[in-house]
Amino acid sequence: MNTRFDILQRITISRTGLSFNSHELRITDNGSRALVLYNRGENRPREESLTVGYDGRCHVGCNGIYEWDTSTWKKTFEWDSCGKIMLDESTANKGNLTELCSRDWDYVHLNSIDKTSDGNLLVSCRHCDAIYKISYDTGDIIWRLGGVKNDFSMADDFIFTRQHNIRYLGENRTHTIVSMLDNATGEDEQPPSYPFSRGLILALDERSDPMTAAIVQQYDHPDGDNHHSIKRGNLQVLENGNILMGWSERARITEHTPDGTIVMEAKLQPVWLGTYRSYKFAFAGFPSQRPRAAGEASDADVEGGAQTTMYASWNGATEVAECESALST
């Protein structure tokens, strides 16, 4: 879409037997590649099911990754969690395994992807409480950060759970820098792993033995202890170095200076509203469509004249603060 919200191109990327997973659409490689997620069902073998205590074939929901060339929309990469991430890596198995395995057990729940400078992929697996680095060349798992098969020594024994929005930020001579939202709890019965949800900037040393992970900076939930984003959310590094946190519930957002100080906070009032992610960009919208208007007649006023209240909405008109109109009767 352009700044007038006209659709310039519509792409169909679904395939038979697969369903689009709307958690991620990540444009990489200077706009030449697009990463998306997909879902499919599969019966896992009895031998693998036994590792989680289920005596039989377990039907699970596999998540996969497609990469597309944005000039031709031909597939350039494919990866599938089934056969790569085993059932015993899932932490979303608290419950009746017979019930879980009789339907599409959401054992991985991939929710974000990014690409590193070496061309490999970082994938957030929410229901494994882990980040996976995947080889672009072979599809093999290079390492796991967090989860039950963690490959890293975690400084100060920190952990994260039910995370969202893994992002590769860069690297220096010794460390790779990544960011994420640590939800620290979810919608299941898993107890919180931290007193509140938080944004994390992490430094990963992939060259040491063992590999190490440390928190560089933390951005706390504005309400502090016992406040969690149980689902969704994100962390965005802004051009000026500030951090924008999307907390999901009530579309709440906070902007922080690099040291964590909150300099802006906003939220929508209705408690049932939420957002998956929140972003801040220098963007101006000039919609092609005209404003929508509706009128409501009311009873006559004290002078016997009729009153009409007009309501107007111009969705996407970012430069318009208010509208004035002249009405004739």
Q: Is residue 140 part of a domain?
A: yes
Q: What percent of the chain has pLDDT over 90?
A: 81
Q: Is residue 42 part of a domain?
A: yes
Of 91, 123, 118, nearest to 106 (Cα)? 91
Cα separation, 177 vs 286, in Å, equals 37
Pairing of strands 211-220, 198-205: antiparallel
Q: Is residue 1 part of a domain?
A: yes
Pairing of strands 152-154, 211-220: parallel
Beta strands in 276-322, from DSSP E residues, in sequence order: 292-298, 307-313
Structural domains of the chain, count? 1
Helix (H, G, I), strand (E, B) or coil at 30: helix
Check whether 175 has a pLDDT greater than 50: yes
218 token code pair = 């933390």
Q: Is residue 293 part of a domain?
A: no
The one-letter amino acid code at 207 reads R
Q: Is residue 186 part of a domain?
A: no
The pLDDT tens digits for 210-232 are 999 999 999 999 999 999 999 99
Q: Which domain holds residue 59?
A: 1-150
Quickly list DSSP for 83-132.
TTS-GGG-S---S-HHHHHTS-B--S-EEEEEE-TTS-EEEEEGGGTEEE
The pLDDT tens digits for 100-118 are 999 899 999 999 999 999 9
Q: Is residue 216 part of a domain?
A: no
Q: Is residue 61 part of a domain?
A: yes
Q: Is residue 128 part of a domain?
A: yes
